[in-house]
Copies of this chain bind each other. A is one copy, B any other.
């Protein structure tokens, strides 16, 4: 399947004194993309939280920074479901500068599906796993 794609315009507040996007903000761009994907799949974070009483805490993340992005740059963010485990999901991300076609950053985030009441990770509901198949890496 092709990945979920969205675009992100770099704001002034995303930059730092090196006049490039601060590295911590790439993780925020990853998460915004994830939020948009769930909304597009018709199962938003809010619905997951209300319906299943789940959090989706992050347990591990990695990013390689390949080229700087500057204020006003238009970034194309791609999200692929790299792996659906029993209680966890691994998202893969790539960020490309839409003007230069240069790779800006690539990384991953592993989340677990945590039941708020139980306070620990639980098996991913079938409905959620099926939705995530939409953007599964092949």
Taking beta carbons and an 8 Å cutoff, which residues of A are in contact with B? Answer: 9, 11-13, 15-20, 22-25, 27-28, 31-32, 35, 39, 44-46, 55, 57-65, 68, 70-72
Contact = CB atoms under 8 A, between A and B. Distances in A.
A44 to B, nearest CB: 6
Count of this chain's copies in the oligomeric assembly: 4
What's the dominant secondary structure at chain A's contact region? mixed
A128 to B, nearest CB: 17
Contacts of A64: 59-60
B46 A71 contact: yes
A59 B55 contact: no
Nearest to A112: B65
B17 A35 contact: no
B23 A11 contact: no
Contacts of A44: 72
A127 B47 CA distance: 41
